[in-house]
Amino acid sequence: MSTLVFFHAHPDDEAIATGGTMARYAAEGHRVVLVSATRGELGEVAEGVLADGEALHERRTSELQAAADILGVARVEFLGYHDSGMENLPTNDAEGAFAAADREEAAERLATILRAEGAEVLTVYDERGGYGHPDHLQVHHVGIRAAELAGTPRVYESTINRDYLIELMRSRALVMPDVEDAPDPEDFDIGMPADRITTTVDVAAFVDKKRAAMAAHASQIGPESFFLQMPTDAFALSFGQEWYIRRGPARATVEDTLLPLD
């Protein structure tokens, strides 16, 4: 059995980007470890969601643990940095913000976990951080350096197959709900083109767990969100596979697993 470490920026990122992969490998008996750089202190939250006196980071910490339990995660850790907020905000440079952190120091914090776990696999984000969030970009750089420091042999960039999802939306094979945050195929600019993808993991058997893990992040993904409004078949079309770019000189062109082949 192998140990896989999934490195994310904020609570809820793990469910959206890699929840199916985490659930699959946990179900297959592998050790799945989740590391979040921050506790999502600056996330948006609707009025009335938090109890009186409840801090958002407290809620998001408990939501992350609930999602991790659904996905079968064996260990949850935080690197100890603060949410940097969206791009070009003053909070990007605030003291303690992950985006402003010394990369070598942050990488050593993650490398300590990788060494202790004897991790064989680490996932980070693609070079665009998926969509350009400062903390996601920092996950990319810090994670790659941490793997170098720890000698973690297999590093994968979690991404989205942009071409696949745009084609689904344009063909109407994927019918998006009529809600405010539903993506528009003409403006969809998340992830990478299909020809950059090296690895596609089939998680069709775990989409229910992925969706339940998303729902556990109720402060960020409410029942009115397009994720949870999607019909079951549309959700399965969108999230029945998860995509990665394998790094390194042995980079594969086509594979369907993050694990070494026997």
Interval 86-126: pLDDT, tens: 999 999 999 999 999 999 999 999 999 999 999 999 999 99
Does any domain span residue 26? yes
Residue 259: how many CB atoms within 10 A of its CB? 16
8 near 124, Cβ under 8 Å? no
For the chain, percent of residues with pLDDT exceeding 70: 95
Does any domain span residue 256? no
Does any domain span residue 127? yes
Average pLDDT over residues 232-257: 86
- Reading the block at residue 62, the tokens are 């408990």
Can you tell me whether residue 252 is helix, strand or coil? coil
pTM of the model: 0.95
CA distance 107 to 191: 23
**pLDDT the model gives residue 101:** 97
Q: Which residue has the tokens 């970009």?
A: 137
**pLDDT the model gives residue 2:** 96
- The answer to which of 88-97, 128-137, 181-190 has the lowest mean pLDDT is 181-190
Count structural domains, the chain.
Answer: 1
Instruction: Report which DSSP code applies to 179.
Output: S
Can you tell me whether residue 122 is helix, strand or coil? strand
Residues in the chain, total: 262
**pLDDT the model gives residue 124:** 98
Q: Is residue 262 pLDDT above 60, yes or no?
A: no
Can you tell me whether residue 8 is helix, strand or coil? strand
Does any domain span residue 83? yes
Average pLDDT over residues 193-201: 95
Average pLDDT over residues 149-153: 97
Q: Report CA-CA distances (Å) from 15 to 5, 10, 89.
A: 14, 10, 26
pLDDT band at 10 (very low <50, low <70, confident <90, very high): very high
CATH code for the domain of 144:
3.40.50.10320
**pLDDT the model gives residue 187:** 85
- Residue span of the structural domain in which 14 resides: 3-246
Q: Is residue 71 pLDDT above 80, yes or no?
A: yes
Those residues with Cβ within 8 angstroms of residue 57's Cβ, 6 or more apart along the chain or in another chain: 39, 40, 41, 83
Q: Is residue 252 pLDDT above 90, yes or no?
A: no
Does any domain span residue 255? no
Does any domain span residue 27? yes
**pLDDT the model gives residue 132:** 86
Does any domain span residue 132? yes
* Among 233, 243, 245, CA closest to 207: 233
In the sheet that holds 31-36, the strands lie side by side as 75-78, 31-36, 3-8, 121-125, 154-159, 241-246, 199-202
Average pLDDT over residues 154-161: 97
Q: Report CA-CA distances (Å) from 223 to 50, 165, 184, 230.
A: 15, 22, 20, 10
Does any domain span residue 65? yes
CA distance 204 to 9: 25
- Greater pLDDT, 205 or 233: 205
Q: Which amino acid is at 253?
A: T
Those residues with Cβ within 8 angstroms of residue 6's Cβ, 6 or more apart along the chain or in another chain: 14, 18, 21, 22, 32, 33, 34, 35, 122, 123, 158
> What is the bridge-based pairing of β-strands 3-8 and 31-36?
parallel
pLDDT band at 131 (very low <50, low <70, confident <90, very high): confident
